[in-house]
């Protein structure tokens, strides 16, 4: 991933596609593979709160505590990015960014080995269901990605819940 690679890897519920979020060429390549427009934005995943700490520094204490209480785990938060730490090719048409600190061992290992958070978007074409088995990933993405990380999905039956700080109602559940 350090040199613009795109990978497929197992996550908490579905197979994901990932790359270095700060490598514009890699992100646009991932978006082309997925057939997803940049304006929609992408989710970032990390192995620890420390990896996303700069995004938490501007939060009110109660918001930060709420977010950190859900991590590590299968909860994605839409966080403000007032300092523009995250590039537009990740945020899309948004001033915020979707982030989670995973407790899935394989996702944690990938982020630790990479040394930072990575892109986490479902392994599917934008108009299709997310891949829940490696066979689908092989059929659709084997010749499009640089590597398919071996491993197993977590126990969730659908992608992680997404919350906004200003609501208790999930954006996606």
Question: DSSP states of 42-80 as a string?
Answer: -EEEESSHHHHHHHHTTS-HHHHHHHHHT-SSSEEEEEE
pLDDT at 34: 95
pTM equals 0.94
**Which strands, in side-by-side order, build the sheet including 147-148?**
121-122, 15-18, 7-10, 147-148
pLDDT band at 172 (very low <50, low <70, confident <90, very high): confident
Nearest of 87, 66, 82, 71 to residue 24 by alpha carbon: 87
pLDDT band at 158 (very low <50, low <70, confident <90, very high): confident
Least confident of 1-10, 30-39, 76-85: 1-10
In this predicted structure, the answer to whether residue 20 has a pLDDT above a threshold of 80 is yes
Taking only the tens place, the pLDDT of each residue in 51-108 is 999 999 999 999 999 999 999 999 999 999 989 999 999 999 999 999 999 999 999 9
Taking only the tens place, the pLDDT of each residue in 22-32 is 999 999 999 99
In this predicted structure, the answer to whether residue 167 has a pLDDT above a threshold of 90 is no
pLDDT at 126: 82
Cis bond leading into 72, ω under 30°?
yes
Kindly give, in sequence order, each residue whose CB lies less than 8 Å from that of residue 35, ignoring residues fewer than 6 positions away. Answer: 125, 126, 127
Between 94 and 127, the higher pLDDT residue: 94
Query: Which tokens hold the place of 24?
Result: 């514009």
In this predicted structure, the answer to whether residue 1 has a pLDDT above a threshold of 90 is no
Domain architecture of the chain: domains with CATH:
7-164 (3.90.870.10)
With a pLDDT cut of 90, the percent of the chain lying above it is: 84
């Amino acid at each position: 991933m350090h040199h613009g690679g795109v990978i497929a890897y197992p996550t908490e519920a579905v197979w994901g596609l990932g790359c270095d979020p700060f490598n514009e060429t890699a992100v646009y390549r991932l978006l082309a593979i997925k057939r997803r427009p940049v304006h929609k934005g992408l989710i970032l995943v990390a192995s620890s709160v420390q990896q996303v700490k700069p995004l938490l520094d501007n939060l009110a204490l109660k918001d930060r505590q709420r977010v950190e209480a859900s991590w590590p785990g299968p909860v994605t938060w839409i966080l403000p990015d007032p300092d523009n730490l995250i590039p537009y090719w990740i945020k899309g048409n948004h001033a915020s960014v979707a982030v989670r600190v995973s407790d899935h061992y394989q996702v944690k290992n990938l982020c630790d080995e990479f040394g930072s958070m990575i892109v986490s978007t479902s392994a599917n074409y934008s108009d299709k269901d997310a891949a829940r088995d490696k066979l689908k990933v092989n059929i659709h993405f084997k010749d499009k990605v640089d590597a398919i990380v071996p491993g197993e999905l977590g126990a969730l039956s659908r992608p992680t819940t997404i919350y906004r700080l200003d609501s208790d109602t999930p954006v996606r559940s």
